[in-house]
Each structure stands twice: as structure tokens, then as C-alpha cells.
């Protein structure tokens, strides 16, 4: 985004000041006061710190109304200035052009307390292997809750605040970084975004690494495309690792969830002979059967380990893999995506945990599940999703061909993004919770 410089002169209104100049640079407002004897004082204030005062009509540091700003000058003095209409108009215009709306949190805590729709700075430059996407739809995931609560901070501490929420999006490419081959401005795309400082799908714009990006077929809606990334890529990668395929018996726990609804269908698409799952009786069990599950165990009244035998592959989405020993045959693979990750899985995800984090992970390791699998002659592993544009392209092509049906618990307008997040974080959703961003 080119730097635009706005400058002007304000009415003095003060017996001591001759002139008050303002200049509005990329991210800050600079005020300069020239006294009657030619002495000057200068100070800057960060543009983002003016968002709340401009929106609420109050200044952050207690000035009387929304037209006053206090800045600390270079020599440490406090300078309060009454902004006239020209400065306010320039500030509001700059706010619109330099910031965007996003669902974000400013500190760790419970989502209800710390998560809100807010204004954050627009990405000002597109790194080489990234594209800037105008977001049309975004999806929430349980990991967003974990991140907000601080459950990931030992593994991946936040590097920039406020932290924008969300990993799944679909939208249109607005700008292309210099090494972002294969994508052009105007392409409709979807992604399970990279983790870290550039994440943040529930926003007007997002910087997305090309390795995570896939082109969205015209026949697939933005909301459907946004729902696929994290849950679908996880399901595909876990089922591949477990060896789902022709003739195989596959057991997926939590069939009505974001991962489960896709995993049931993908297991069938890969040719699996039998797909069993768990869901509460009623609409969730019916949903799982309609997606292709051959066996649905009502987990609220029955124990799956009493009913299922001889399974080749387990995909555990509910942290119940310790109960899967009786379910699997010799040579089976139990893949879990829930509970505490193993040190190996963390390394596979490209993270380098320090000694203390490794110690904690080892202490919390799901030894019971590992031993249950071992006793049955099966393998057990924890899988961390690896964001993959290629896998997402496969999922999108299946949706386009009518072979895979995204299941949406609901679609919320951007204004109600926090409600969409709350529904996802409740752990009761039926498929995915999606937010539309086109009109924000
Ligand atoms: N390792 C990774 O890379 C990775 C990737 C994706 C997800 N995950 C993890 O995988 C888990 C599942 O993710 P998700 O997005 O599918 O979650 P989700 O969409 O929030 O799952 C909600 C669904 O799970 C059902 N459910 C809850 N407990 C159940 C149980 N004991 N048996 C059967 N169904 C149950 C709920 O139905 P009821 O209301 O009827 O209970 C609800 O429909 C989460 O812990 C998530 O963090 C990990």
C-alpha cells in the first residue's frame, strides 16, 4: 500500500501557540506545535491507538471529547490538541484505508472476555511467497479457542498483538508477492492458512502463503470452500496415514464434528469397505448415516469398544484412543488428532519445543492409548495437520464433482463472528461454523 502523507494546519485557539501542524503518515499522527517565539514541540501517536477514541468519541487518555488528542513530545512534554474537522476527516479516511476489521484478542483469556471484532492495521506489504486475499468467508475451529486461552503459547508464543483469529478462508486474490507463482490477482482461492504471525482468517484481508493455497472451482461456494481446509486436510492426512482404502474397516470417533463429517465421506471416497462412527442419537446419528457411515454408535448410551471389532484404521477426534484396543485388529493403525500431542508430532509440525515443553509433553503423553494399541498389535500415533494447498485442491475437486458434501452447522454474518466462534467453541457443532465477510 503506497504511503500517503496528509498534512495541514490547525486553528491555534491558544494564546501561547502560534501554529499547530499535523501530519499523518502511514501508521502515525504527528503533531507539531510552533510557539509565538518560534519554539517548536513535536510528538507522534500511533494510528491504531486512535481507533477506539475515534469510534467511541472519547480519547484514550481522558481528554474531554473525541476531538482532542494528547501526544507525548520528543522532549517528554504532553501536548493536547483539539482536532478540527479537517484533521478528523483525514484521520477517519486514513482509518478506513489503513485498517481492516478482524476477530482478534489482545491478551490470553476466555474467548467471551478477550475476543472481539476490532480494527487492526491492514497488511502494508505482501511478503514474497504470499498473496493478499480479500476474504469472502472464513471458518472457526477448536484450535482457535485453545490459542485464545493460551494453550499453544508454550509451543508457539504469539509474536504480534492483537492476534487475529482463524485459519480457514476463501476469497479473492487482491495482491501477489513477487515469488507467489501460480496465482494471479482476481483468482478465487481457499486455504488453511499457515500458523504464526500472519494467521487470521476472520478478517477483511489475509496474507496467505502459496503453499497453503488452492484455487476455488467456480461451482464451489465461498462458504463451502472456507469450511474445508483445516478439518478436511486433517481428515485426509489422518486417513492416509492410517491406511484407509479399498477393503479396509475404518472407525472414526466424533462423526458429527467438523473433522468427523468430512472424514466419514473421505474414508468412503478412498474405498473403505466399512465406516463406523460415534454420535449422539437423533439428528447427529442420522447425519452420520446420511454421509455414508455404515455403523453409528450412540456414544451417550453405548460403549463403542463393546460393539466394534476387527478395525484396520481408527481416526480418533475425541481423545478416546485409549479405548480403541478392543476395536482394532493386529497390524491396525490408530491415529489420534485430539489430546496432548507427542514430541514427535510437534517436531513433524516443524516446531522445536524447548526442554521444559518436551518434558511436559512427555509427562502428559497418552501412554494408556499407546499401550492399548501395542497390546492389540497395532500402531498408535498423534497427527498434526500439515497445511497443504495440494490436499485442499483435492478436497475442492471432490466437492465440485459432488463426491464430498461440506456440512455447515451455520453461516453467520461478519458482525456476528463472535457468535459463530462461540458455537464452534461449544464443542456441540454439527459440522463447521462459517462467517461470511463479503460485506464487511
Ligand atoms: N491435531 C490436529 O492437527 C487437529 C486438527 C483438527 C482438529 N483437531 C482436534 O480434533 C478435535 C475435533 O475437532 P472438530 O473440529 O471435529 O471438533 P468439533 O467440530 O467441535 O466437534 C463437535 C462435535 O463432536 C461431537 N462429540 C463430542 N464429544 C463426542 C464423543 N465423545 N463422541 C462422539 N461425538 C462427540 C459433538 O456432538 P454432541 O453434541 O452430540 O456431543 C459435536 O457434534 C478437536 O479436539 C480439535 O482440536 C486436531
Closest CA to 169 of 118, 209, 125, 119: 209
**Peptide linkage before 162 cis (omega within 30 of 0):** yes
Kindly tell me the sign of the dihedral angle through the C-alpha atoms of 280, 282, 287, 292: positive
H or E stretch covering 286: helix 283-290
Burial of 138 (0-12, 13-18, 19+ CB in 10 A): buried
Give bridge partners of residue 424 from the DSSP assignment. Answer: none
Which residue, judged by its Cα, is nearest atom 37 of ligand 1?
Answer: 428
What pLDDT does residue 32 have? 66
Ligand 1 pocket check: which of 111, 139, 142 to mutate, most ligand atoms within 8 Å of Cβ? 142
What spacing in Å lies between the alpha carbon of 337 and ligand 1's midpoint? 10
To which H or E segment does residue 434 belong?
Answer: strand 432-436
Q: Name the burial class of residue 252, with classes exposed (0-12), middle (13-18) and buried (19+) by CB atoms within 10 angstroms of its CB.
A: buried
Q: What secondary structure, in 3-state letters, does 196-207 show?
A: CCCCCCCECEEE
Beta strands 40-46 and 328-336: pairing type? unpaired
DSSP for 350-396, please give it.
Answer: T----HHHHHHHHHT--HHHHHHHHHTT-EEEE------HHHHHHHH
Judge whether 231 and 432 are in contact, CB under 8 Å: yes
Give residue-wise pLDDT tens across range 93-126: 777 788 899 999 999 999 999 999 998 989 889 9
Q: Are 294 and 312 in contact (CB under 8 A)?
A: no
Ligand 1 midpoint to CA 431 (Å): 9
Distance, in Å, from the CA atom of 361 to the CA atom of 176, rounded to the nearest integer, reads 39
The residue whose C-alpha atom lies closest to atom 41 belonging to ligand 1 is 428
**Number of the ligand 1 atom closest to the C-alpha atom of 319:** 45
Distance CA 180, CA 169 (A): 18
Q: Which residues contact 46 (CB under 8 A, 6 or more apart)?
A: 27, 28
**Cα-to-centroid distance, 256 and ligand 1 (Å):** 8
Mutational test site, ligand 1, from 291, 296, 323, 427, max ligand atoms within 8 Å of CB: 427
Ligand 1 test: best mutation among 254, 285, 420, most atoms within 8 Å of CB? 254
**114 CA to centre of ligand 1 in angstroms:** 23
How many Å lie between the centroid of ligand 1 and the Cα of residue 28?
44
Q: Give the pocket of ligand 1 (CB within 6 Å).
A: 141-143, 230-231, 234, 253-254, 256-260, 278-280, 284, 299, 317-318, 337-338, 383-385, 427-430
Measured in whole angstroms, the distance separating CA 163 from the mean position of its chain's CA atoms is 10
Identify the segments of the chain with pLDDT beneath 50.
1-7, 10-13, 15, 58-66, 440
pLDDT given at position 63: 36
pLDDT at 65: 43
9 membership: H or E segment, kind and range: strand 6-10
Q: If you take atom 48 of ligand 1, which residue's CA is the nearest one?
A: 337
DSSP assignment letter at 88: H
Look up residue 206 and give its three cell numbers.
Answer: 489475509
Tell the residue nearest (CA) to atom 4 of ligand 1: 337
Give CA–CA dist 78/74, Å, rounded: 10
Q: How far is the CA of 186 from the centre of ligand 1 (A)?
A: 35
Listed residue (158, 146, 149) closest to 339, CA to CA: 146
Q: What is the pTM of this model?
A: 0.89
CB 189 within 8 A of CB 131: yes
Q: Which of 194, 227, 231, 260 to mutate to test the pocket of ligand 1 (most atoms within 8 A of CB)?
A: 260
Report which protein residue has its CA nearest ligand 1's atom 21: 257
The DSSP annotation for 228-276 comes to: HHHHHHHHHHHHHHHT--TT-EEEES-TTSHHHHHHHHHHHHTT-SEEE
* pLDDT for position 228: 98
* E strand spans, 67-224: 68-72, 78-82, 99-105, 115-121, 130-139, 163-164, 168-176, 188-192, 205-209, 213-215
Domains and CATH numbers, the chain: 6-83 (no CATH), 100-216+409-436 (3.90.180.10), 229-382 (3.40.50.720)
Contact status, residue 214 vs residue 190, Cβ threshold 8 Å: yes
Closest CA to 208 of 287, 131, 149: 131
Amino acid at each position: 500500500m503506497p504511503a500517503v502523507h496528509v498534512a495541514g494546519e490547525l486553528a491555534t485557539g491558544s494564546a501561547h501557540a502560534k501554529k499547530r501542524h499535523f501530519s499523518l503518515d502511514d501508521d502515525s499522527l504527528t503533531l507539531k506545535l510552533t510557539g509565538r517565539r518560534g519554539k517548536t514541540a513535536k510528538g507522534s501517536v500511533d494510528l491504531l491507538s486512535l481507533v477506539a477514541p475515534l469510534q467511541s468519541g472519547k480519547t484514550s487518555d481522558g481528554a474531554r471529547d473525541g476531538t482532542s488528542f494528547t501526544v507525548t513530545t520528543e522532549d517528554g512534554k504532553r501536548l493536547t490538541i483539539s482536532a478540527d474537522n479537517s484533521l478528523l476527516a483525514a484521520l477517519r479516511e486514513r482509518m478506513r484505508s489503513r485498517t481492516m476489521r478482524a476477530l482478534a484478542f489482545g491478551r490470553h483469556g476466555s474467548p467471551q472476555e478477550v475476543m472481539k471484532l476490532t480494527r487492526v492495521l491492514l497488511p502494508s506489504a505482501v511478503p514474497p511467497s504470499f498473496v493478499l486475499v480479500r476474504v469472502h468467508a472464513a471458518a472457526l475451529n477448536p484450535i482457535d479457542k485453545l490459542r485464545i486461552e493460551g494453550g499453544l503459547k508454550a509451543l508457539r508464543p504469539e509474536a504480534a498483538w492483537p492476534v487475529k483469529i482463524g485459519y480457514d478462508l476463501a476469497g479473492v486474490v487482491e495482491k501477489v508477492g513477487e515469488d507467489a507463482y501460480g496465482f494471479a490477482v482476481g483468482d478465487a482461492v481457499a486455504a488453511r492458512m499457515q500458523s504464526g504471525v500472519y494467521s487470521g482468517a476472520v478478517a477483511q484481508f489475509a496474507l496467505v502463503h502459496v503453499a497453503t493455497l488452492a484455487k476455488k472451482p467456480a461451482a464451489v461456494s465461498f462458504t463451502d470452500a472456507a469450511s474445508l481446509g483445516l478439518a478436511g486436510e486433517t481428515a485426509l492426512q489422518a486417513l492416509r496415514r492410517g491406511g484407509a482404502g479399498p477393503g479396509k474397516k475404518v472407525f472414526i470417533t466424533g462423526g458429527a464434528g467438523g473433522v468427523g463429517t468430512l472424514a466419514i465421506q473421505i474414508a468412503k471416497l478412498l474405498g473403505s469397505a466399512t465406516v463406523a462412527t460415534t454420535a449422539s442419537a437423533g439428528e447427529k446419528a442420522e447425519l452420520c448415516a446420511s454421509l455414508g457411515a455404515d455403523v453409528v454408535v450412540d456414544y451417550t448410551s453405548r460403549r463403542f469398544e463393546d460393539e466394534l471389532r476387527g478395525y484396520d484404521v481408527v481416526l480418533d477426534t475425541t481423545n478416546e484412543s485409549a479405548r480403541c484396543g478392543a476395536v482394532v485388529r493386529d497390524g491396525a493403525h490408530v491415529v489420534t488428532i485430539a489430546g496432548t500431542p507427542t514430541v514427535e508430532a510437534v517436531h513433524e509440525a516443524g516446531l522445536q519445543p524447548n526442554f521444559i515443553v518436551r518434558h511436559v509433553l512427555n509427562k502428559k503423553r497418552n501412554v494408556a492409548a499407546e499401550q492399548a494399541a501395542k497390546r492389540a498389535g497395532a500402531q498408535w500415533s498423534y497427527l498434526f495437520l500439515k497445511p497443504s494447498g495440494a490436499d485442499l485442491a483435492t478436497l475442492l475437486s471432490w466437492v465440485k464433482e459432488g463426491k464430498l458434501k461440506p456440512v455447515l452447522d451455520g453461516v453467520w454474518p461478519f458482525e456476528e463472528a463472535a457468535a459463530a466462534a462461540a458455537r464452534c467453541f461449544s464443542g456441540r457443532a454439527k459440522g463447521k461454523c462459517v462467517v461470511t465477510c463479503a460485506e464487511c
